[in-house]
Chain A
């Protein structure tokens, strides 16, 4: 599907699947996200403290992983499929460590009428997978998508 094509709610097929390119999560990503979010928790910022933790090192913020996967999926799906977010259900299943490479596998799982006329809701199930094939995050997002004008 071309990213430039005008796509409406009616055009999005349930069952369509997408796979994003990969991206290596770097120390710079974690530092910038700490500054942007204001979340300087030791999990993400104190290398010495984290040596003694269950993870053995700093881990990326869960919400950084969520934000990066959104950008990765945006590269491969048409704008309307990942339009304005209405809802999110998300599980952080394992750590993303500095140097891990992640990609996203996604699938349109449902479509329903929106609360406002002229809009539909598309549900996209997503899995964030690391270089070892482990699912580190997964969940689903609901997006508002405009209906084809009558």
Chain B
């Protein structure tokens, strides 16, 4: 891989512990609920209520929109998550995350991220820990 390519990515070695990263906001709409409903065929929520899994799913996209190069994720290993407050159409959410643990493995390394999703009132609506397998920097 060329130096230019690797310089614009974050590898396991580059991950810093306990540095909070905040994403931009995203307004949840009827369209999110309708798309999610047709994609998953899950039971419709009450009108105006956003299905529980949408904020979690959207936060995975928001997580790439932080002021740092993208993390080279090899696989998503798991998560422990709490649903604290429901969200409604029109709510605007964003997430705040930080790395709380790192463990080097033979192939890549495990990174544990603590993430909270907040609404426009600053209330935490969902939070938990995600475990990712991240690539190590290739030998140059």
Task: Say whether A associates with B.
Answer: yes
Are B60 and A63 interface neighbours, CB within 8 A?
Answer: yes
CB-CB contacts below 8 Å: A63-112 with B: 63-64, 66-68, 70-72, 74-75, 79, 82, 84-92, 95
A43 within 8 A of B: yes
Chain B nearest Cβ from A33, distance in angstroms: 6
Query: Which listed residue (A38, A72, A75, A88) contacts B79, Cβ 8 A?
Result: A88
Are B78 and A88 interface neighbours, CB within 8 A?
Answer: no
A37 within 8 A of B: yes
Are B61 and A92 interface neighbours, CB within 8 A?
Answer: no
Query: In the assembled complex, which residues on chain B have CB atoms less than 8 Å from the CB atom of A68?
Result: 39-40
Instruction: Take A54-B74, A70-B42, A71-B41 as given contacts and tell me if A37 and B60 are in contact as well, using a CB distance cutoff of 8 Å.
Output: yes
Instruction: Take A63-B57, A139-B78 as given contacts and tell me if A33 and B64 are in contact as well, using a CB distance cutoff of 8 Å.
Output: no
B17 within 8 A of A: no
Report the bound CA distance from A139 to B77 in whole Å: 12
Instruction: Take A37-B57, A38-B61, A63-B60 as given contacts and tell me if A32 and B35 are in contact as well, using a CB distance cutoff of 8 Å.
Output: yes
Query: In the assembled complex, which residues on chain B have CB atoms less than 8 Å from the CB atom of A67?
Result: 36, 39-40, 42, 53, 57
Query: In the assembled complex, which residues on chain A have CB atoms less than 8 Å from the CB atom of B76?
Result: 61-63, 92
Query: Which listed residue (A43, A61, A74, A86) contacts B42, Cβ 8 A?
Result: A74
Query: In the assembled complex, which residues on chain A have CB atoms less than 8 Å from the CB atom of B124?
Result: none
Interface size class of B (residues with CB under 8 A): 20 to 34
Report the bound CA distance from A131 to B136 in whole Å: 33
Report the bound CA distance from A139 to B131 in whole Å: 14
Are B43 and A82 interface neighbours, CB within 8 A?
Answer: yes
Query: In the assembled complex, which residues on chain B have CB atoms less than 8 Å from the CB atom of A2?
Result: none
Report the bound CA distance from A64 to B57 in whole Å: 8
Report the bound CA distance from A82 to B83 in whole Å: 14
Query: In the assembled complex, which residues on chain B have CB atoms less than 8 Å from the CB atom of A85?
Result: 52-53, 83
Query: Which listed residue (A37, A82, A84, A89) contacts B61, Cβ 8 A?
Result: A37
For the residues of A in contact with B, the DSSP-based class is mixed
Are A39 and B75 interface neighbours, CB within 8 A?
Answer: no
B73 within 8 A of A: yes
Query: In the assembled complex, which residues on chain A have CB atoms less than 8 Å from the CB atom of B26?
Result: 38
CB-CB contacts below 8 Å: A29-72 with B: 29, 32-33, 35-41, 43, 53-54, 61-64, 66-68, 70-72
User: Could you write out 17 A-B pairs with CB less than 8 Å apart?
Assistant: A33-B39, A39-B57, A39-B61, A41-B64, A41-B70, A61-B60, A66-B53, A67-B42, A67-B53, A79-B43, A84-B83, A85-B52, A88-B79, A90-B78, A90-B79, A92-B76, A95-B75
Which B residues are within 8 Å of any A CB, using their own CB?
26, 32, 35-36, 39-43, 52-53, 56-58, 60-65, 70, 73-83, 86, 128
Which A residues are within 8 Å of any B CB, using their own CB?
29, 32-33, 35-41, 43, 53-54, 61-64, 66-68, 70-72, 74-75, 79, 82, 84-92, 95, 139
